[in-house]
Amino acid sequence: MAHYRSKREQFRRYLEKCGVLDTLTSVLVALYEEADKPSNALDFIKLHLGAAGPEPADTEALRMELSDLQQKCNMLMEENKELRNRLMQYEPAPDEGAAE
């Protein structure tokens, strides 16, 4: 039995040292002091702990934006490559101009 108390005390000190107890306490106090209690206390805690991720609609919008930007980047890279090739037709390479 003493072994369990010792482990429990070590774990409590660990949580205290890492700031977990203070953070949990402040979130629970914020929930307690909330005038209009939320219907889902767990969501309130997640939100205040920063565990709530982006909404699914936001995630999908970000994925679509990422896809569009990747396509645009690929198009611009291809355009840059084509323009460099066209430029090389009109301007000699730096090595060729230095030889004259």
Closest to 64 in 3D by CA, of 76, 72, 75: 72
Highest mean pLDDT among 10-24, 37-51, 64-78: 64-78
What pLDDT does 58 receive?
Answer: 80
Domain boundaries, the chain: 1-53, 54-100
Higher-pLDDT residue of 32, 94: 32
H/E element, 11: helix 2-17
Per-residue pLDDT reduced to its tens digit, 28-68: 999 999 999 999 999 899 888 886 566 677 888 889 999 99
Kindly report the pTM of this predicted structure.
0.47
